[in-house]
Amino acid sequence: TPTPSPTCSNSGPVVRKTPLITFLEILQQTALNTLGPKNFDPKLYVDLSLKSNLSITQSAFDDLPRTPNGSVSVTDFNGFIQSYFNGAGEDLVYTEPVDFVSEPEGFLPEVVNREVRAWALEVHSLWKNLSRKVSDRVLDRPEFHTLLPLAKPVMIPGSRFREVYYWDSYWVIRGLLASKMYETAKGIVTNLISLIDEFGHVLNGARAYYTNRSQPPLLSAMVYDIYTRTGDIDFARKSSPALLKEHKFWNSEIHSVRIHDAEGCNRTLSRYYAMWNKPRPESSTIDIETASKLMNDSAKQHLYRELASTAESGWDFSTRWMRNGSDLTTLATTSIIPVDLNAFILKMELDIAFLANVTGDCTISVHFQEAAQARKQAMNSVFWTAEMGQWLDYWLSNGTTCRGHTWEASNQNRNIFASNFVPLWIELFNSDCTLVEQVMQDLRSSGLIRAVAIATSLTNSGQQWDFPNGWAPLQHMIVEGLPRSGSKEARSMAEDIAVRWIRINYVAYKKSGAMHEKYDVEKCGEFGGGGEYIPQTGFGWWNGVVLAFLEEFGWPQDLNIDCN
């Protein structure tokens, strides 16, 4: 892996931390000291909401009896939590989705196998478990909550993820469209737009501690898919200003990077960059521990920005972002130009151009078509390697500022990640049948296609966005992109991957009664592991991908759903 320059990552904006978050982080550290590391989830403590004013709560906390080394007894600590806080997740209340029916008309018409159809209806019914609305208590006293108020109902991922997440929402919406729940899908977009109106970008998730960063930008893709399903032109028109604002955010000074390429042209691409240089509040105790290996405050602040920027990538954590794959302190995300991020922004440009055309705004449409062409050329010039048939992340290593770098082949990261194939999802690439056939051959020989799914990487690092985990969004983008080339072989490869993915979800569901957040790509029906929290169930975007695959490929009567 090339060595990135640290020079463009040490400074940058930092958003304000609320007094409630500061206090909840102290509570989180006290919980760890008092209760010990077993079954400890730091996020729980920043998700609690106050029963009374912060000053009253703080003084009660200060008054708790302490031993000479400052610790609190388990009884006192638990009593304090009971008396002063409402439980995590209580500020979101269950709400029945307005457009849910147990078997929607025209639901998955190509799924004829009875067993699979019955299961698909169960997966569809999980929308009811995951549907929530923000409680009136949050609207009345927002300063008591880290949960942010949203006007419309939300779909949560599930388990410890008790709030709405940005990129998850794209695949949730894909599932809702298969479930014919158009109003719920539109409501999710309305909520995300309200975050852009307030913060200038869609947050990682709808919590006060996520305001410092975004997540992979897929709002335009949500609007595009809802519009093409419903033909709701008013919805497309209302969404447009937010999409323009979001495009600015991802091309702002902190995110954009200029590369002087091998042909002597200047190319502009984007990177992840969180507005934060402190521990992530939801994982504060973990980040402090990780940074304790570093000697000085500046190195720690640098690492904290890298940790938060990696969370912005959605791939938290992975060797993809590390100089040394066994040492998290070598995260260098802000010094990497990622293939998938730029594929998403390219899609944003194409979607904005399409939607502007539909709503009659030709100037915007032409402007964004040109922007898309420029980004496509930049991606070809900076990321593409014909020899490997992949687009490779680019590591910034030779500049003194973030604004100008001269391209060098040795700065492409030649390690294999599923993200190297994400451009297949984008029309400007997948419409080229010759290119897709070449990339498909390289995908076949890459080592990523395993017994039951596409692996995230080839490195077994213990991080959750690495081998042997398989993640639903990565399967979906590759599977959806391949057949768009019109190549029969590509469609058959896509269908094969989709069938195997449906099987592992089905088998794991039958074994455990739940949909899981990640799967082991080598063992059919086994869920994945690794990372900083225990494996979760629920699970919003996973359900969405299963429904989207079943919608696209169906399931014939005689096709076996079991692993063998």
Ligand X SMILES: OC[C@H]1O[C@H](O[C@H]2O[C@H](CO)[C@@H](O)[C@H](O)[C@H]2O)[C@H](O)[C@@H](O)[C@@H]1O
Catalytically annotated residues: 316, 517
* Shortest spacing between CB 80 and ligand X, in angstroms: 24
What single DSSP character describes residue 487?
-
Q: How many CB atoms lie within 10 A of CB 532?
A: 18
Give the binding range for ligand X (CB under 6 A) out of 132-140, 278-286, 321-329, 357-365. Answer: 278-286
Binding of residue 544 to ligand X (CB under 6 A) = no
The Cα–Cα gap between 371 and 549 comes to 31
User: What track of x and - describes contact with ligand X for positions 15 through 54 (by CB under 6 A)?
Assistant: ----------------------------x-----------
Q: Given candidates 280, 302, 376, 516, which one binds ligand X under the rule CB under 6 A?
A: 280
Q: Chain centroid to CA 522: how far?
A: 23
The Cα–Cα gap between 442 and 162 comes to 39
* Shortest spacing between CB 425 and ligand X, in angstroms: 17
Binding of residue 204 to ligand X (CB under 6 A) = yes
Size of the site for ligand X (CB under 6 A): 14
Binding of residue 163 to ligand X (CB under 6 A) = no
* Shortest spacing between CB 289 and ligand X, in angstroms: 14
Q: What is the 3-state secondary structure (H, E, C) of 495-529?
A: HHHHHHHHHHHHHHHHHHCCCECCEECCCCCCECC
* Residue 551 phi, psi dihedral angles, 5° rounding: -65, -40
Site for ligand X in 141-160 (CB under 6 A): 157
Binding of residue 311 to ligand X (CB under 6 A) = yes
Q: How many CB atoms lie within 10 A of CB 39?
A: 7
Give the binding range for ligand X (CB under 6 A) out of 52-60, 310-318, 320-328, 405-413. Answer: 310-318
Place of tokens 């074994």: 511
What single DSSP character describes residue 421?
G
Q: Given candidates 161, 276, 394, 417, which one binds ligand X under the rule CB under 6 A?
A: 161
The Cα–Cα gap between 379 and 512 comes to 42
Q: Given candidates 25, 91, 306, 316, which one binds ligand X under the rule CB under 6 A?
A: 316
Binding of residue 528 to ligand X (CB under 6 A) = no
The Cα–Cα gap between 243 and 317 comes to 28
Binding of residue 175 to ligand X (CB under 6 A) = no
Binding of residue 423 to ligand X (CB under 6 A) = no
Binding of residue 340 to ligand X (CB under 6 A) = no
Q: Chain centroid to CA 364: how far?
A: 28
Q: Chain centroid to CA 516: how far?
A: 16
Give the binding range for ligand X (CB under 6 A) out of 311-319, 406-414, 435-443, 485-493. Answer: 311-319
Cβ partners under 8 Å of residue 118, min gap 6: none
The Cα–Cα gap between 440 and 454 comes to 13
Give the binding range for ligand X (CB under 6 A) out of 7-15, 56-64, 164-172, 542-550. Answer: 164-172
Binding of residue 538 to ligand X (CB under 6 A) = no
Whether 178 contacts 222, CB under 8 Å:
no
Q: Given candidates 91, 163, 225, 282, which one binds ligand X under the rule CB under 6 A?
A: 282
The Cα–Cα gap between 62 and 84 comes to 13
Residue 457 forms beta bridges with which residues?
417
240 vs 313, beta carbon nearer ligand X: 313
Binding of residue 278 to ligand X (CB under 6 A) = no
Residue nearest to ligand X (CB): 311
List contacts with ligand X (CB under 6 A): 43, 157, 161, 165, 167-168, 204-205, 280, 282-283, 311, 314, 316
